[in-house]
Amino acid sequence: MGGDVTAHLHPLLTRLGERAPWALSLHDAPCCRRARAWYLQRARAAPSTDALVSWVHERWTWGPHPWPLHWCDVPRAPHLDCEAASHVVVEALRDRGVHAEVLQVIERFDASAVTHWRAAWVGAGVPCDWIAGDLVYHAAVAAFEGGAWRGWDPSDGCVLDDKPVRGYDSVVAVRVAGEARGSWALGEALQEVLRGLAAPG
């Protein structure tokens, strides 16, 4: 791992600490119950996890929004950030009986990309503390299907296995969020992290 990556990685991991991903909130009112039911009904039409991830990616472009975010905000939201997109995918998978968890990921990009994203988040009045140099914090999804865990990236609409192992858009570090939370592992260990998740009982 290059010196620049290492220099930025430790401060970012320290900043994240034990932080759990944001999750959508429910108002104690019919608005959120109806919105969640609307979403799950449409998500059930996706015949596979690949199709579900693709639908979420196409329906909501990736972009900034304030937190907390409520379910009743989702139908009219023009875009969702990575944590919101991962949360709705996990909810849909669990609704169909698939064991799923949010993955917390550190990815590497370049100065041009992170400058553009920082400007977008600042322009929307949303904190951009998920950026450190050319590294960014990201959220994705792990799901147990066909006897194994696999990783998906709803924001990119792709399987995590398709990410490069180094350079632009590569996974530098990863950990599992939620009840199965583990410690951070280097990106090259993505498959080991997934294999290390216990098979659902």
Predicted TM-score (pTM) of this structure: 0.92
Q: Which two tokens stand for residue 59?
A: 């329906």
DSSP 133: T
Average of per-residue pLDDT across 18-42 = 95
| pLDDT at 40 > cutoff 60 | yes
Q: Which domains does the chain have, with CATH numbers?
A: 3-196 (3.10.620)
The share of the chain scoring above pLDDT 90, in percent, equals 69
What are the pLDDT digits (tens) for 51-79? 999 999 999 999 999 999 999 999 999 99
Q: CA 58 to CA 38: how far, in whole Å?
A: 17
Q: What is the mean pLDDT of the chain?
A: 91
| pLDDT of the residue at 3 | 47
